[in-house]
Amino acid sequence: MTVYTAPLEDIRFTLRHIGGLDSLAELPGLEHLDTETVDLVLEEAARFARSELAPLDPVGDREGAVLVDGEVRTAPGFKEAYARFVEGGWNGLVFPEEWGGQNLPWLLNTAVAEMWNAANMTFELCPLLTQAAVEALLHHGTEDQKRIYLRRLVSGEWTGAMCLTEPQAGSDVGALRTRAERDGEIYRIRGQKIFITFGEHDMAENIVHLVLARLPGAPEGTKGISLFLVPKFLPDGNGRPGRRNDMRCIKLEEKLGIHASPTCVIAYGEEEGAVGWLVGEENAGMRCMFTMMNNARISVGIEGLGIAERAFRRALAYARERIQGRRDGRPVPILAHPDVRRMLLTMRAYTAAMRALCYLATAEVDRAARDADGERRRAAAGRVALLTPLVKAWCTDRACEITSLAVQVHGGAGFIEETGVAQHYRDVRITPIYEGTNGIQALDLAGRKLTIENGRLPWDLFAELRTELGALTRAGLSDLAGSLAPALSTLERATREMQARGAEQRAAAATPYLQLFGQVLGGFLLARGARAAGRDPAGAAWPGLARFYATQLLPPALALADPAYGDLAALDASLLPPAG
């Protein structure tokens, strides 16, 4: 089993040349961002990931979280590691100093989160949701809610949970049945939520649930949903945890992977009703919740990136050590076999493209929040909207492919739990499901992002990619430009066709279209890194990776263009076996 070592050289290169980290220091509020600060954060995060989190990953997989008398006990070592995580100030990296944060960019937080996920995704799930809860309160909370909760959530002293799903209402959130009734200055919440990640645990002294519920007389569907802040312990007059709220964990799900992450069934209001406070306006809960969810969707893409990186490194180490077969009469490691190198280069190229996409998106998050120019903020927000479904869906689908290849490189040993690589394969499988399945992400891209702002969002990006082609040629990379130009033309043609079609046809073609979009954009981002490698030796591998991607991985993806046109007739339900 390999020790996790963060790929800091790759991370720094991508931060600088894809994310544009240096230019972020010019944004208002980030004047304190300098190379020394960035390096210190990265090196300390790498150390914490290696020494604290990675050793707990197999422990959490074996031991898991357990429910005892309504209380969840996390796997051995998790509670202690989380205390050190809070002590290090890691949870507040990006949040305002006013609330105890360090006011650093989301781009840098993305690099740190990649390391947490690579070392121990189940641990990172807790701060991921806490950060999303902080975002919701920063944007929609009352002044009293911010005063009582924000500082403790920013520090990680208290944690957050996102509570949407119900047994009868999965992705169809509008079908939820949890009720809220006003009782003076508070609301009484009654109902049940399932699949609540870290909804109950022993790592923090309080857990703040953000719960979707329906008020009496509210409109049907999502237009009648409100959001409520429901803490495990009700704060006393000093803001400390007081008496236990009327809510409890009644079950932990038994899952394919992420065993150390408690996935809870939570019952609210079995007695007097769980006490909650309205966040935002009545019947506007979905707008508030989407502040959390969009943050979490990008974070799930970063989960896929982290596990993909870890799986690749394990496969590479095994390929260098495992002796099998002969060359010129001498035993050789399996790395000597061309097909093994093909698998490893596929993993490496995809991981680099995923990192580039995640870092590009979160750099735009920073620009959308901080740029002094209103038009540039608007453009950056549009770019975030366009890239979010790609980050979430394309990256997590590639992560499943990469972890599967890691098992394949290990051969029979990969199917044995002892090697550890099977855990990555199991753990990452949740990521295409989390925070709206990847099919929903594809519908968001094809059904909404192609139509808002008069359909201009993809075309603004395509114009930049056209400019990139010329820059590649001037940099002596005309072969890459020659491979990418027809790919971009194919994506443009598919986009025009998609924008001209009706909603049902776009829905039928949404998933192949998203995969085509992600595949082409990934190739351009690798080419951008290849161009930067001419002035930064840390990117020495990028030109070769970009060529491998452009010649081996991109051509098959272009065949997705035809399914992307949405042939409804081909999706004939009568071709399926009859019921029973």
Q: Any idea how long the chain is? A: 580
Rounded to an integer, what is the distance from CA 521 to the centroid of its chain? 18
Burial track 84-114 (b if 16+ CB lie within 10 A, e otherwise): ebbeeebbbbbbeeebbbbbbbbbbbbbbbb
Yes or no: say if 399 and 305 are a contact pair by the CB < 8 Å rule.
Answer: yes
Residue 12 in tokens: 């720094």
Active centre residues (catalytic): 435
CA 258/CA 404 separation, integer angstroms: 16
Neighbours of 239 (CB within 10 A): 12
Question: Is 260 buried (19+), middle (13-18) or exposed (0-12) by CB count in 10 A?
Answer: buried
CA 252/CA 247 separation, integer angstroms: 15
Report the DSSP beta bridge partners of residue 190: 179
Yes or no: say if 202 and 260 are a contact pair by the CB < 8 Å rule.
Answer: no
Yes or no: say if 210 and 161 are a contact pair by the CB < 8 Å rule.
Answer: yes
Task: Identify residue 16 by its one-letter amino acid code.
Answer: R
CA 461/CA 507 separation, integer angstroms: 22
Helix, strand, coil shares of the chain, percent, nearest 5, are 60, 15, 25
Burial track 31-70 (b if 16+ CB lie within 10 A, e otherwise): eebeeeebeebbeebbebbbebbbebbbebbebbbebeee
From start to end of 3-99, where are the E strands? 66-68, 71-73
CA 422/CA 256 separation, integer angstroms: 11
Yes or no: say if 203 and 79 are a contact pair by the CB < 8 Å rule.
Answer: yes
Yes or no: say if 505 and 568 are a contact pair by the CB < 8 Å rule.
Answer: yes
